Structure 1
Amino acid sequence: MSGKTILVWFRKDLRIHDNEILTEAVRKGGSIIPVYCFDPRQFELTSFNTSKTGLIRAKFLLESVADLRNSFRAAGGDLIIRIGKPESILPELVAKYKVHEVYHHREVASEETGVSTLVENALWKLKINLKHFIGHTLYHKEDLPFPINTIPDVFTNFRKKVERDSSVRSCFKAPGAMKFPENMETGALPELSDFGFAEPEFFDDRSVMKFKGGETEALQRLQDYFWNSNSVKTYKYTRNGLIGADYSSKFSAWIAMGCLSPREVYWEIKKYEQVHGTSDSTYSLFLELLWRDYFRYMFKKYGNKFFQKAGFKGVAPDEGENQDEFFELWKNAKTGIPFIDANMRELNSTGFMSNRGRQNVASFLVKDLKVNWMWGAAYFEEKLIDYCPANNWGNWAYIAGVGNDPREYRHFNVLKQAMDYDPQGDYIRLWIPELATINSTQIHQPWKLSETERAKSQLKSYLDSPSYAPELVVVKGNK
């Protein structure tokens, strides 16, 4: 067979569309060998005693890999699946299938880039090149109007210059006919139990939507949000919502897993604008994509400083003496602040939380409870279905005041926020049914209820639990 044999190493790029490593491998004209490795290091405990990957994201990952395999099977091939370290598995496959080159998309966080280095070193011993591509951002690194080490530390300055001087490249089309080696030993898709998880017993129907991994589902969500429901039309005005599928795009889980590329979303925005015109809502959605880029490039600029308590500002936030106790209350949704607890129950049950919720629970943990912000970031790493290192740790550093927030001290008044964004208490009633009978004027501060009202059975189970602690309430926030 003419052409080179290229091994395409999939990681957080689980798609056929807009995938340069796949397109380029097919263009070379030889066989392609698609490979996905379930790296056991991604399921280990962190130094904060949290799991690097929790049950909900593990399920989403398995669904995404299964969908990618189906795409290759529809093209007459398959996806090789292995459990193990890529630096051990890939050289074995290279030797077995007489591979000429290995392609992969470059990552930015230290653990992921460290694995790339291990693979590169192992392949180098076989005189095989690991070729790096850039495929996780809206803007290509080479198209930025400044080198990485001089990217502004304030998002607004970054945004203005990028919007003025840079452009988003076109998407890569799905490759045409693909050639695969015969008799590939593909391996079985693992099950959740292989990573120590039990299959979830039920789906919580209070979830904003039923997230299912894979490019097929991602493209369907793109179609639904832009064209079937036309929800993007009101994005700017609904994006701070708390209940339901369409107050925001919900693309983040698929983008984080690489089932959907930011560029695909960008060009869908442009296509929508051709039909409906530009608007504050389409621009607001674009800005969210740009924030994703920004945090990735900040990671390239500052590296592991985002994994340090003082961030790149150099001064860590204050911490309280009883932060172990308060962290347990926070993560188990038992702070006694209904708006905080409702958001944490949603996260723990579904793997998702609104943008408004994330900002509030993070600010409350760091600024009110005086808990190490890195504990919260690590907990989100385990629980979030849409976790990606740059976005998660970048946002937590921002809230903690050690990252890209230009304001010296940003502190959310969680009671005011609750009243602004859940004025009738509908969100709280959804996630804390014990408070369902409380009226909207009292639901955000139930510790003010009379003894008679507190005695009601369901209400009592929340208010009189040993960990209910209304004295934790601090309302000095400025937002």
Structure 2
Amino acid sequence: MLKISTQQASIFLVLTLMLGTSIRTVRSLSMSASTSKKPLHFHWFRQDLRLHDNPALNKSIQNGNRTPKNNDISNGMVPIYCFDPRFIGGNTMTPFGSQKCGVMRAKFMLDSVADLRANLEKKGSGLVVAYGKTEDVMQKLCQAIDTEVSNDDIEPWVVVQEEPYSEEESVDKAVKRSIKTFKKDASGEFETVWAASLYDIEDLPFNDGVYGMPDTFTPFRNKVEKNCKIPNPLPVPPKNSLALPKNSAIQSVLSGESSNSIPNCSLSYMPTLEELGYDAEEVEKANNPDKRGVMEFKGGETAGLKRVQEYIFDKDLLKIYFDTRNGMLGADYSTKFSPWLANGCISPRFVAKECKRYENETGIVNKSTYWVVFELLWGAFFRCFAVKHGNKLFFLDGTLGRKAHGEHANSRKWGMNPKHLQAWKDGMTGYPLVDANMRELKATGFMSNRGRQNAASFLAIDMSTDWRYGADHFESYLLDHEVSANWGNWCSAAGMTGGRLNRFNIVKQSKDYDAQGDYVRHWCPELANIPTKLIHEPWKLSKEQQQEYDCRLGVDYPNPLVPPTAPNPYARDNRGNGRGKGKGGQNQKGKRGGNNPNRGRNQRQDMKSLNQGSYKFD
């Protein structure tokens, strides 16, 4: 008879468990040596609120499938989502004084979780939703189940999508501790899976992996596209693979029917915005979207997949994306995929695969069909950039530290005038393009990429304001907030990543991308009567013209917060102009920057350098 050592057996067990999921994507895996305890599998949904192409969910399913079929505790899994008050809530504030998650993003998240639950229920499963610190919820839930299942000894196994940021990693460590300490002799397993990027992080073709990647996008993109393949998106799991544990005692706890069930945590519980701490005025705003917005964004995988189908296939807009992406009014200038991508309702790999399917089915392969995938690559870049630099992304001096700006290192001075900052937030800077965009953000939770570039440049460079206040404000309001994209772009806009510092010429940008002033008039109605030739520079109005056009400077509309002629050592007024002039009007063609959440970088490229359609799949 073949004999193997204990060490060999352990190695065999690990390899067997991990078959079917790339070893490279699984982190923090340590197998239990216990043979008497029964694993209880949890899939902790976080920023992966979907069933399609979900590597972390696939790993949870694999864990459950390797359990003997007669084990009614381990055969199956418990999907769970926690509304953690450290990340969401009307009273959850940041060190910079903003709500960490504004009410409109909170509403989008609630809708997304509700849709996820509905989709799981259609598969014969369910979703436990809880409100509380995630580690507390997990510990109490494990205790409740362990008490209810008195004749068995459970061992929690938790799988979650990796979020490589300090706050999320701190929670991960706390959850890992909680499942290993929920009782005296407790043990448990905790795994994170890299799953939110176009490429696997271990596939990066750089010496030292992610830590050897360049800090600027173009060399990153060139090498990745040449050497890497996009993993094919995973299909939606089959119905029988998502089943809850069959144990009736566990089901009693999860349904909230047991005396051991914990409050605000069950298969039927869903918090309201009011329960999350948002006041009546905020809730009214979230439930009644501003009709001036480009479109109504509804959270969830169902709505996200519908938008992808609609934009690429039903309306056949992919083929002209490059030429229309800088528009600022209307639903279809750009993909508008970003809120669903940022919240994990749709997968970037799925979007890229749909672009490839469009090319294959129509025979149309051009810079537009490529450019959507190019935008997704920006998301991959910033996510890897965040892994490489860690908390430096949140420091005033960014990833450069004291080396920032070379010759200007000793002259760069940051400030923070509370009144000026509030004027910027409220869209009252006296610069129409900036003001229109900031008002749109405040009213709807959305802002075009072109707008984000200009708003960030104005705050960080023209106003010389600590850029982190801008990133913090965007985090609060944006429906499509994603940590690495938002903070990475703001850090870059401030010139703190090593890339070229670009000061946007706000007036020229306004004339180029809102030539007729339609967008400005849409969001700044006090400027509605001003003729097109003056609407981008209202400070040039004479007193007689102010009276004629019913717009008094300093009364109806503010004087410029920063003098238009103020010198700035970082000026590159020819930057960010693009190849063509976008139009802000509803029925005119324009240019807008993309589907990737808050990319905020100038994309002027020599099109001859683009290897169109160069992305490859496994």
TM-score, normalising length: structure 2: 0.74
2:292 pairs with 1:206: yes
Task: Map 1:364-443 onto structure 2 (within 5 A).
Answer: 364-405=458-499, 407=500, 409-443=501-535
Residue 471 of structure 1, CA deviation: 4.9
- Residue range with higher mean Cα deviation, 281-290 or 54-63: 281-290
- Residue range with higher mean Cα deviation, 200-209 or 286-295: 200-209
**2:126 counterpart residue number:** 78
Whichever residue aligns with residue 421 of structure 2, its letter is F
Q: Secondary structure at the match of 2:44?
A: strand
**2:158 counterpart residue number:** 102
Residue 320 of structure 1, CA deviation: 5.7
Residue 63 of structure 1, CA deviation: 0.3
Partners of 1:162 and 1:259 in 2: CA distance: 25
Residue 99 of structure 1, CA deviation: 4.9
**1:241 counterpart residue number:** 327
**1:18 counterpart residue number:** 53
**Coordinate RMSD, CA, aligned:** 1.8
Residue 321 of structure 1, CA deviation: 5.4
Alpha carbons of structure 1 residues 25 and 320: separation in structure 2 relative to 1, 3 Å: closer
Partners of 2:523 and 2:476 in 1: CA distance: 21
Whichever residue aligns with residue 473 of structure 1, its letter is P
CA contact (8 A) 1:155 1:404 kept: no
Question: What stretches of structure 2 of length at least 5 have no aligned partner?
Answer: 1-37, 66-74, 146-153, 246-250, 256-265, 406-411, 576-618
Partners of 1:351 and 1:386 in 2: CA distance: 8
**1:305 counterpart residue number:** 392
Alpha carbons of structure 1 residues 136 and 474: separation in structure 2 relative to 1, 3 Å: farther
Aligned partner of 1:133 among 175, 181, 193 = 193
**1:343 counterpart residue number:** 437
Question: What stretches of structure 1 of length at least 5 have no aligned partner?
Answer: none
Partners of 2:110 and 2:416 in 1: CA distance: 39
**1:468 counterpart residue number:** 559
Partners of 1:390 and 1:170 in 2: CA distance: 24
Residue 74 of structure 1, CA deviation: 1.4
CA contact (8 A) 2:322 2:367 kept: yes
Q: Secondary structure at the match of 2:87?
A: helix
Aligned partner of 1:190 among 258, 267, 271 = 271
Partners of 2:498 and 2:298 in 1: CA distance: 32
Partners of 1:162 and 1:298 in 2: CA distance: 14
Partners of 2:225 and 2:316 in 1: CA distance: 26
CA contact (8 A) 1:52 1:381 kept: yes
Partners of 2:465 and 2:446 in 1: CA distance: 22
Aligned partner of 1:113 among 169, 183, 197 = 169
CA contact (8 A) 1:329 1:335 kept: yes
Residue 203 of structure 1, CA deviation: 1.9
**1:60 counterpart residue number:** 108
Residue 465 of structure 1, CA deviation: 4.6
**1:221 counterpart residue number:** 307
- Residue range with higher mean Cα deviation, 322-331 or 377-386: 322-331
TM-score, normalising length: structure 1: 0.95
Map Cα deviations across residues 437-478 of structure 1 (whole Å, 9 max, x no partner): 111101001121122231258523x65258533653357542
2:121 pairs with 1:35: no
**1:148 counterpart residue number:** 210
CA contact (8 A) 2:526 2:551 kept: yes
Whichever residue aligns with residue 312 of structure 1, its letter is T
Partners of 1:412 and 1:65 in 2: CA distance: 39
**1:180 counterpart residue number:** 244
Alpha carbons of structure 1 residues 101 and 424: separation in structure 2 relative to 1, 3 Å: same
**1:332 counterpart residue number:** 426
Map Cα deviations across residues 184-218 of structure 1 (whole Å, 9 max, x no partner): 23251101111222322432111111000000000
Partners of 1:320 and 1:296 in 2: CA distance: 27
Whichever residue aligns with residue 20 of structure 1, its letter is P
Residue 150 of structure 1, CA deviation: 0.4
Residue 92 of structure 1, CA deviation: 2.6
Partners of 1:88 and 1:321 in 2: CA distance: 40
Q: How many residues in Structure 1 have an aligned counterpart in Structure 2? A: 474
More helix as a share of residues = 1
Partners of 1:26 and 1:456 in 2: CA distance: 69
CA contact (8 A) 2:56 2:193 kept: yes
**2:40 counterpart residue number:** 5
2:221 pairs with 1:159: yes
Alpha carbons of structure 1 residues 456 and 114: separation in structure 2 relative to 1, 3 Å: farther
Whichever residue aligns with residue 418 of structure 2, its letter is D
Q: Secondary structure at the match of 1:472?
A: coil
Partners of 1:205 and 1:322 in 2: CA distance: 33
Partners of 2:144 and 2:198 in 1: CA distance: 36
Residue 244 of structure 1, CA deviation: 0.8
Partners of 1:295 and 1:471 in 2: CA distance: 31
